A and B are shown apart, each in its own frame.
Chain A
Amino acid sequence: MYEIDAKGIYYRKLNEMLREAVARGEKEILLKNVNGQYYIGDGIRQGDVKITIDGVPGNDLAAFMDGPTILVKDNAQDNIGNTMNAGKVVVEGHAGDVLGYGMRGGKLFVKGDVGYRIGIHMKGYKRQVPVIIAGGTAGDFFGEYMAGGILVLLGLGAENGKPIVGDYLGSGMHGGAIFVRGEVDETRCGKEVGIMEPDEEDMKLLKSYLKEYCEDLGLDLEEVMKRPFKKLIPVSLRPYGNLYCY
């Protein structure tokens, strides 16, 4: 494994070093002592590269990424996987706001809580199916303006009786599917969203993604599957109304 010590290195230099290593043909790269460096892994295309990050990467991790796998051994910040096309990001801690914005392929797995505006404007086409799975709770605007792909929220370790997802769930949604483990409060959903029971086909698909998720993060799949899921899909084309002038 090729190691880069990122301690005190400015993001621009660190990303140059990372790109050089990838261009040289390094397949397993460990970035040690990362703290706050922006843009790690952005736009990298090599699908067979695995980058492990020791520390908290800065904002805009894996933006426009097109192939590599990134494993974050700690918490992560905002804007992971913006417009990501392929590859995978696994975060062993929690992550921030606006994850997977406009994401169009690949996977983003977060073990802990995630912030606001997760998977907004996510899109999919034929074999391009972006998937985001968050293990903890999420804030408002989960899947806002979602146009494709799959968003999954598990609420593991959430306080009993407290909602695991915020307000405006799927507001403006017009494609894709959201799976929430447990109950969904209809009044917190966008008006375009229909809440239903997943059918057998849905569960098969969901389980295959969750199997991979649990393997990556050392979780027990059976435990995760113990609670039933709700499926949310768009049922109307009505655009979202008056939020910003309310």
Chain B
Amino acid sequence: MNHNYEKDISGCGLIGIINKKKQRLGGEFVKKSLCLMNDRGNGLGAGFAAYGLYPELSDHYALHVMYDDPTSQRDFEEFLKENYDVEKIEEIPTKPVPSITISPLLMRYFVKPHKKMLVGGMTEDDFVVRTVMQVNSEIAGAYVFSSGKNMGVFKGVSNPREIADFFRIEEYEGYIWTGHTRFPTNTPGWWGGAHPFTLLDWSIVHNGEISSYGINKRYLEMYGYKLTLLTDTEVVAYTLDLLIRKHGLDISTACKVLAAPFWKDVERMDEGEKDAMTALRMTYGSALLNGPFSLLFGHRKGLVGINDRIKLRPLVVATKGDVVFMSSEESSIREICPKPDRAWAPRAGEPVIVELED
């Protein structure tokens, strides 16, 4: 496996940018913003997610895959051809960066599931989720680290600047971007463990630690999710997929599952809301995220920022015209937007939900 078990201590930095009118923004902005928070990470992980990335192939799933060796690549590609129509195969373009001496093989595939594979009411999304789970747990040394449409993730072990240069982030454009610099606390700094974590078009960047990981993991396993990436943040991606895509919760309700109001506050609600919150907690208690976090999640229709219930990690939001920024530090926003219309720190547990227009 391409990771090293050395442990280090610390914080992370995250940034999210969304243009509500779908005007695409170059990767240099998110890179510049994230680099200002370089010291929040320690060189053991950085990454970016962009939406609106592959407009010419937007009806195909873009699978980004990392391999430990050519054997894992061969095994994966055999599996892929049996199950998918493959429109395009290419190496993910990279550029040599002196500080990145070891990297996995990095490929991307634009695919659609074979129609004949979709049996018993299974949707294409279901099939892709099953593929990701199967590949990551069964094909040794192969990891699908991005599986959405018209979006993609680029991540690895190094600092934000090096990872951005390595993946030539400045050559991409997107209308939603997230970025992350990592300071691993309890889990290894390896390529698959860098943020963002994804499933379909859910992508998560996270600062903090999810101490309910064990409970969340066992809960997700009941629904067929397999947690293979050795990092707590992985549960958030799969939980959102379960709650929103599979169970049909809206985003705001899903956020009330992740950061549920305290019982003492539920007591103070009016009857209807009290019943709703109680039912939600009874049903989804195992999906509650405990521990400190600020996290951003991107998806097909927007960007969301949320904190844990007692605000144990920083999060600042700013707006400028149609653009909304979310970050661990206001200065990183000001680095690319010197005079925002408004800047504020959201309250604990209260999500900031920004949707694309139209």
Contact = CB atoms under 8 A, between A and B. Distances in A.
A and B: bona fide binding partners: yes
Contacts of A139: 311, 345, 347-348
Interface stretch (B109-117, B249-257, B331-339): B331-339
B30 to A, nearest CB: 16
A56 B316 CA distance: 13
A130 interface: no
B201 interface: no
Interface residues of B, number: 22
A42 interface: no
A36 B335 contact: yes
A246 B188 CA distance: 30
Sort A-B residue pairs by CB-CB distance and give the 4 closest, nearest first: A36-B331, A116-B311, A56-B331, A35-B331
Given A36-B331, A36-B335, A96 B263 contact: no
17 contacts: A35-B331, A36-B37, A36-B334, A57-B331, A58-B331, A75-B330, A78-B314, A96-B314, A96-B345, A97-B311, A113-B344, A116-B348, A139-B311, A139-B347, A140-B310, A166-B347, A246-B262
Contacts of A78: 314, 329
Interface of A: 11, 35-36, 38, 55-59, 75, 77-78, 94, 96-97, 113, 115-117, 139-141, 166, 187, 246
Contacts of B39: 11, 38
B277 to A, nearest CB: 15
B278 to A, nearest CB: 16
Nearest to A93: B343
The B interface is mostly helix, strand or loop, or mixed, namely loop
Contacts, number: 61
A94 B344 contact: yes
Given A36-B36, A140-B310, A75 B329 contact: no
Contact of A97 (B268, B314, B335, B344): B314
Interface of B: 36-37, 39, 262-264, 268, 310-311, 314, 316, 329-332, 334-335, 343-345, 347-348
A75 B343 contact: yes
B13 to A, nearest CB: 11
A116 B316 CA distance: 13
Contact of A140 (B334, B343, B344, B348): B348
Contact of B36 (A35, A57, A115): A35
A137 to B, nearest CB: 10
Contacts of A56: 330-331, 334
Contacts of B331: 35-36, 56-58, 77
A120 to B, nearest CB: 13
A38 to B, nearest CB: 7
B335 A35 contact: yes
Contacts of A115: 311, 345
A59 B311 CA distance: 16
Query: Of B36, B37, B264, B329, which is in contact with the most chain A CB atoms at under 10 Å from its CB?
Result: B329
